[in-house]
Amino acid sequence: MYSVKISEEAELDLEEAYFWYEQQVKQLGSEFIRVVDKSLATIQKNPLACPFIYRNIHRKLLPRFPYMLLYFIDDNVIFVFACFHVKRDPKQWKRRL
């Protein structure tokens, strides 16, 4: 079984998206977090199912929301280093590597 570690930057990404969605519609931010949690559970069960998008970086698209989780695997640890809007410039997340 893999363990999941979320970077501080990814936590900030999630927090920012949560608050933005909460401002749009009450409880939508909570729904966003539920989708993230479910996606993280899916990644944890089968981290190799998500495609590579750059070197050893995998991408998990979130259902219902235009975001993606970016992660890499080291031994039995899944490191989530970003939660980015799919329309953002990829150079931004590549700077985190």
Choose the weakest-confidence range: 5-9, 14-18, 56-60, 93-97.
Answer: 93-97
User: How would residue 38 be classed by pLDDT, with cut points 50, 70 and 90?
Assistant: very high
What is the structure's pLDDT at 1?
86
Helix axes 8-24, 28-45, angle to 10 degrees: 140
Can you list the domains of the chain with their CATH numbers? Answer: 3-94 (3.30.2310.20)
Residue 37 pLDDT > 90: yes
Residue 36 pLDDT > 90: yes
Q: What is the mean pLDDT of residues 24-30?
A: 98
Residue 24 pLDDT > 90: yes
**For the whole prediction, is pTM greater than 0.85?**
yes
